[in-house]
Amino acid sequence: MSSLQLQLRNYRLTTAEITYHLPDFPALLQKFIWQDFDLAPKFPHLHKFLAFWERNLDGRLHSVRGASCQLIRPAEFRLVADVITLQ
């Protein structure tokens, strides 16, 4: 499905910052950025990715921070009090 079709079905662009322990040096942390279209507020695609991570990758998860933004939304406008004309 195209990104436009997903957005029309209320999917939002979701970004997750995943911090994990390096497998060879557990005291060190590394960051990974994951981005995809997902359904807020349950985020099933992100949860599926994190489950895959825990099953198949050696780096133990430390923390996950996420943000979501709806790209298609009603038009925004604001009233302007003054008009300036430049010549």
- Domain ranges in the chain are 3-69
Per-residue pLDDT, 87: 66
Per-residue pLDDT of the chain (87 residues; tens, 9 = 90+): 888 898 888 899 999 999 999 999 999 999 999 999 999 999 999 999 999 999 999 999 999 999 998 887 777 777 777 777 676
pLDDT score at 49: 97
In the sheet with 12-21, reading across from the earlier edge strand, the strands are 29-38, 12-21, 61-69
